[in-house]
């Protein structure tokens, strides 16, 4: 990467958070990168981060301690004034070519070349509501993809690409970046992970667990026995059953009738506070309840004994009091010393909540 792109004088990134939570994300980023400043693009959601560190230094700092409330970011390798007319597309495609050549092609080949045949590229175009143009993001995406194919011979794909070209269209400026999915924290545009609603789907809550699987690098099919606390109507239970797990679902409310009778389902229509299980009998414990974190943790703690050492817990924490960092800290502390926090993240499918991934410690973990 050239010195022009990775400037020691500082760097800029377009950053996205769930709507209404950008202030928390900015607090996290300032703690990681003292001196960082922000310019709003979409109120309380998308903003330009001006980091005092270099492009690569900023990426490394964010990756080393991924913020809870940053959903997605991409570097600003070029910004181009826009008029909103169709003439923008040719200028933006040319600017993308220049950024791609400097970031992806020259470092890979040691000298400028017009071929990068080993690379696949995803082109992601987003816009602010304030953008008013004669062309659509889809039309610009097609123009940019065509330009990259013709100039560099790359294959443009939707997912699992070697490189991501990001363009954010603000009111009068387009912010362009070339990066990898790891640099962006997500390979979805803006970190907005979208799943197709299935016919007969029990509830949209299923999407939260699907996204947690992706965000935390888990494989739900690896868990042979699962315990779902507060399971009704059964969105998370249904996904675990699809993955082949034997599921014990606990809730005094009704599960969806389509789940009843499943050979791998044990349904306890009771309050979780009134049940007990054999120690070390489950690989996975999940809980997605609309209770306050304090109530929910109080309910879960006695059930942690049922989770085997090394087992996983995925828990949704409702942010009911406007103190998200303290909520995570207090909730994890209440589950110690049995559990270790692996990652906390506000997912795209979270609303006024976040999701934590914990792992049960081995008894002699401190000596391992």
CATH code of 248's domain: 3.40.50.150
Predicted confidence at residue 109, as pLDDT, reads 56
Predicted confidence at residue 313, as pLDDT, reads 98
Asked whether residue 182 carries a pLDDT value surpassing 60, the answer given is: yes
In the chain, the number of structural domains is 2
Q: How confident is the model at residue 256 (pLDDT cuts 50, 70, 90)?
A: very high
Q: What is the CATH number of the domain that holds 97?
A: 3.30.2130.30
What phi and psi, each to the nearest 5 degrees, are found at residue 91? -65, -40
- The whole domain housing 260 covers 205-367
* 213 and 134 part of one domain: no
What mean pLDDT is predicted for residues 243-259? 96
* 106 and 233 part of one domain: no
- Domain end marker among 143, 169, 191: 191
What pTM was computed for the model?
Answer: 0.91
Q: Tens digit of pLDDT for each residue in 147-171?
A: 999 999 999 999 999 999 999 999 9
* 243 and 158 part of one domain: no
Q: Tens digit of pLDDT for each residue in 301-314?
A: 999 999 999 999 99
In a domain, 303, yes or no: yes
Q: Which of 112-116, 169-173, 261-265, 351-355 is predicted with the least confidence, judged by mean pLDDT?
A: 112-116
* 186 and 224 part of one domain: no
4/80: higher pLDDT: 80
Q: How confident is the model at residue 3 (pLDDT cuts 50, 70, 90)?
A: low
* 182 and 217 part of one domain: no
In a domain, 120, yes or no: yes
Predicted confidence at residue 323, as pLDDT, reads 86
In a domain, 2, yes or no: no
Q: How many CB atoms lie within 10 A of CB 287?
A: 23
Q: How confident is the model at residue 364 (pLDDT cuts 50, 70, 90)?
A: low
* Mean pLDDT, all residues of the chain: 92
* 38 and 120 part of one domain: yes
Q: How confident is the model at residue 12 (pLDDT cuts 50, 70, 90)?
A: very high
- % of the chain residues with pLDDT over 70: 93
Predicted confidence at residue 363, as pLDDT, reads 74
Predicted confidence at residue 368, as pLDDT, reads 35
What mean pLDDT is predicted for residues 210-222? 97
Q: How far apart are CA 190 and CA 348, in angstroms?
A: 9
What mean pLDDT is predicted for residues 7-22? 92
What mean pLDDT is predicted for residues 93-115? 78
Predicted confidence at residue 8, as pLDDT, reads 66
Predicted confidence at residue 322, as pLDDT, reads 74
Mention every residue, 6+ apart, whose C-beta is less than 8 A from residue 359.
Answer: 310, 311, 312, 313, 339, 340, 342
């Amino acid at each position: 990467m050239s010195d022009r792109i990775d400037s020691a004088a500082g760097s800029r990134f377009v950053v996205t958070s769930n709507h209404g939570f950008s202030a928390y994300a900015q607090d996290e980023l300032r703690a990681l990168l003292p001196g960082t400043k922000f310019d709003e693009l979409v109120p309380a959601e998308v903003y330009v981060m001006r980091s005092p560190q270099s492009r690569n230094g900023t990426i490394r700092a964010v990756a080393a301690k991924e913020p809870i409330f940053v959903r997605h970011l991409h570097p600003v390798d070029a910004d181009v004034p826009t008029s909103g007319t169709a003439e923008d597309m040719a200028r933006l495609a040319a600017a993308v070519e220049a950024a791609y050549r400097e970031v992806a092609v020259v470092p890979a080949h040691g000298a400028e070349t017009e071929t990068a045949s080993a690379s696949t590229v995803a082109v992601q175009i987003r816009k602010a509501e304030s953008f008013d143009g004669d062309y659509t993001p889809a039309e610009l995406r097609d123009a940019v993809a065509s330009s990259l194919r013709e100039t560099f011979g790359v294959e443009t794909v939707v997912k699992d690409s070697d490189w991501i070209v990001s363009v954010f269209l603000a009111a009068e400026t387009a912010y362009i970046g070339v990066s990898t999915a790891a640099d962006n924290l997500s390979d979805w545009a803006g970190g907005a992970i979208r799943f197709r609603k299935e016919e007969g789907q029990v509830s949209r809550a299923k999407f939260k667990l699907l996204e947690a699987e992706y965000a935390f690098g888990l494989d739900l099919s690896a868990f042979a026995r699962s315990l779902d606390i507060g399971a009704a109507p059964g969105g998370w239970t249904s996904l675990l059953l699809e993955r082949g797990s034997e599921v014990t679902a606990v809730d005094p409310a009704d599960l969806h009738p389509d789940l009843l009778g499943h050979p791998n389902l044990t349904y306890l229509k009771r309050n979780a506070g009134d049940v007990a299980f054999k120690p070390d009998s489950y690989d996975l414990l999940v809980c997605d309840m609309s209770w306050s974190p304090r109530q929910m943790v109080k309910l879960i703690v006695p059930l942690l004994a049922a989770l085997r050492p090394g087992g996983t817990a995925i828990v949704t924490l409702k942010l009911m009091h406007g103190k998200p960092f303290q909520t995570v800290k207090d909730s994890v502390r209440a589950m110690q010393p049995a559990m270790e926090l692996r990652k906390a993240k506000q997912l795209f499918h979270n609303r006024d909540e976040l999701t934590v991934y914990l792992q049960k410690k081995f008894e002699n973990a401190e000596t391992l």
